[in-house]
Amino acid sequence: MRRSVVEAETETVIAVLDYGMGNLRSVAKALERAAQDAAGDGHLKPRILVTSDPAVARSADGIVLPGVGAFGAAMANLRDRGLDRVVREAISESRPFLGICLGLQLLFEESEERFGGLRPEERLRPGAWPAAEQEPGLGRPGRGSQPKAGQEQGQGLQPGQGLPRGLSILQGRVRRFPPGLKVPQIGWNELKLIDAAANPLWRGVPPGAYTYFVHSYYVDPEDPAVVAATAHYGVEFAAAVRRGNLFAVQFHPEKSSTVGLTMLRNFVWAVARSRKAADFVLPAVDLRGGRAVRLVQGDPARETRYADDPVAVARELVRQGARRLHVVDLDGALAGEPRQLELVARIAEAVRQEARWQVRIELGGGLRTSDDVEAAFAAGVDDVILGSSLLADAGLVAELVRRHLGHVMAGIDVRAGRVAVRGWQEESGLEARAVVRRAVALGVRRFIVTDIGRDGTLAGPNLELVRELAEVAGEPTGPSETAGAGGPVPLEFVVSGGVRDESDVEAAARLPWAAGVVVGRALYDGRVSVGQALAAARRGLVARG
């Protein structure tokens, strides 16, 4: 049975990487507690998975890398399981990442922890124990090797002596505490938060909060801008770092009482916002004559052909990070019946083989009977868009909404305030407001609103039109009167037509009634990439709060 769209869209998966190094279960339990707290609104469904499977981890919305133990052994374990690549990919894709204790240290280039817990045979493994000068650009002689003020000359390893290598995601070295200190540092220590208002991990964390540390080494970043908090133990050291969606802490939030739980809850919310951003951007794949095309204002005579292989186009969009695709059968829209379901089925199969995550496909164009809709679902689409049927057959729409709860969308295609139908070639004479009211009365709770005059023009989306229709339908962020197995289904409005660049995506994401934005010509013309659109959606959703 197809899951409720509410469940499918809002389930957020966080993978805790199991590489045989320590405190996995305590971290997972603390995250589960934080996830339960974060799920208080009833629509956020965080799920915590402990996994050593790279494929499972790659499909997760957020990654947690905990760890207690020796640096070199940890890196060897990560490599053996293929999880080092998972960490690099997640961070490069801007998926939220949280490193804890050793999971912080592994992000850096090298460690002064001699032999790093490696067994003698592991020390001889190629690549497991390279000397600093043997890897140009990563362990350059002199990088991070000079003692800081107050450190003794000769403390730590010097260039050429051979240091165990880390992931090299952040530049800098892991250093041992100065001589004379009792190590490891075990116990509570005060945090000095840096730019707390700008760091979502620190939301609700009071100044001067105490957290629990257990460590003999600390990170020494080359770039001071990544330091998010410091603490003092003989020397002032970086207790936390942040770069974008990368967060990492030297202390143990899972052992840090309510302060640590607050931080973990904040991370869960960061993952949820990132997932919501991924669902917010809908790259368009318009099909005509077996090709990927774009029309201007829905005019078949003003067509731009972008690719002869729409399957390859869809696969590349997903490869770049798309989680939703907005597919339109233009031939079907003009003919009044689906014409390209075989091609749609090939797209659906290809993107799901390509994707490391669940990809949702919505289809519009010529779906005017129950058989058409069932054939579309059989082809592998997740959601169908009904336009002309809203006016031609109210009983059909009501039955389809009941049968496929949460997976039927109303396509409100507007030209000069009135709804156009049959491939935008006929005017209905009805105002868009009236059609929205009719759709709501039929049980529809998901809408895609297109300003035909702006579609394909790069003139900017008509956010005011969508706002007006959302107000007509009712509060889009509140529960509707239609409930399914997953509870009340919220109203949802997707903006379509005219998007120029990432600024339009961010503007749409800032608005409380917007649940997504279709991006077409701007993607194909290279004005914005999928990655840029996703980043813009994250910024807008964070600003929305």
CA distance 43 to 28: 21
Phi, psi of 143 (to 5 degrees): -65, 120
**Is the CA virtual torsion 104, 109, 112, 114 positive or negative?**
positive
> 136: burial class by Cβ within 10 Å (0-12, 13-18, 19+)?
exposed
Specify whether 18 is catalytic.
no
- Which tokens go with 400? 């389809």
Tokens of 33: 């507690």
Of 61, 413, 451, 455, which is the active-site residue? 413
Whether cis (ω within 30° of 0) applies to the bond prior to 46 is no
φ, ψ (nearest 5 deg) of residue 301: -80, -10
Taking the CB of residue 216, how many other CB atoms lie within 10 A of it? 13
d(C-alpha 387, C-alpha 423), whole Å = 9
What does the alpha-carbon distance between residue 488 and residue 482 come to, in Å, rounded to a whole number? 6
Please give, one letter per residue, the 3-state secondary structure of 105-172.
HCCCCEECCCCCCCCHHHHCCCCCCCCHHHCCCCCCCCCCCCCCCCCCCCCCCCCCCCCCECCCCCCE
Instruction: Give the Cα separation of 30 and 64 in Å (integer).
Output: 12
Which residues partner with 324 through β-bridges? 360
Tokens for 72, please give them. Answer: 């070199």
Has 223 been annotated as catalytic? no
Question: Which of 18, 61, 84, 286 is an active site residue?
Answer: 286
Torsion of CA 140, 141, 144, 145, to 10 degrees: 160
Q: How far apart are the first and last CA of the chain?
A: 34
Residues recognised as catalytic: 286, 413
